[in-house]
Amino acid sequence: MVNRSATPAYRAFFSDIDLTVKNFSNHFSEGPATARATAKFMGTGKTELTATFRPENNGPDFDLDARIDDTDMRPMNDMLRAYGKFDVARGLFS
């Protein structure tokens, strides 16, 4: 994702994505759908996502758990400048 409307513009992304989706349907007769993913946030941060989706409700019905560990913060500097008016020389985000 690139946010060009921020100053400075910044890019947030996931790389090395491995995604598994099971039981994906628009009907609940077979139970909920599940998804599991691993990736790297901003190219370095170990990311794990799990989700459960339940179709056939009157609105969105899902659970999402996310965990991001040990992301090098230097690639996040443009985002930090845009929203926090600061940057970092080193550090990890978890």
Task: Please give the model's pTM, rounded to 2 decimal places.
Answer: 0.82
Question: How many residues are listed for the chain in this entry?
Answer: 94
55 pLDDT higher than 90: no
pLDDT digits (tens, 9 = 90+) for 16-43: 999 999 998 877 777 899 999 999 999 9
HSE-up of residue 27 (Cα within 13 Å, Cβ side): 2
Q: Is the pLDDT of residue 60 over 80?
A: no
Distance CA 59, CA 45 (A): 32
Which helix or strand (DSSP H or E) is residue 85 part of?
none
Looking at residue 43, what DSSP letter applies? T
Rounded Cα gap, residues 94 and 45, in angstroms:
8
Residue in the structure block whose two tokens are 């996040």: 76
